[in-house]
Amino acid sequence: MKITGITAWILAAGVAMTACGGSSQQEPSADSASAADKSAVSHNTNAAQDTAGSLGTENQNVTGNNPPKAVELMAKSDCLTCHKVRDKLVGPSYEEISKKYKQTDIDMLAAKIIEGGSGNFGQVPMTPHPNISKEDAREMVKYILSIK
């Protein structure tokens, strides 16, 4: 069976949707989320590289400090597979998140990073990240909310 360009594109799109939760009603386990994340990166190898260079440097209108710890944590995680600073990728941009939420939402957003969820920015679910500590998730959220 010969795979055409269109068939390969459809297959890659399906894998990418699966990586960020797709339309499944079941919450993925930490193991399946990790495998899906690795699959998404293998099919979108430029996602992290496209954003990693600008994370923490593209944002010239940051209020307060630019927390280097948060930037480092986000670059080491799979955040950049689905999010960019200013542009929507699979999930909302950090700028969109910053416009929607306030400093009082830090704990709730940190829980979303750890537990995953959906419905806040459409139907594509965010995969859970149970290996990220609450403290690290809070640092990431503080940075995201500083982007204006």
Annotated binding site: 79, 83, 126
Q: Which of 65, 63, 27, 20 is closest to 43 using CA atoms?
A: 20
Annotated binding-site residues for heme c read 79, 83, 126
Instruction: Provide DSSP, 13-27.
Output: HHHHHHHTTTT-SSP
d(CA 142, CA 48) in angstroms, rounded, equals 20
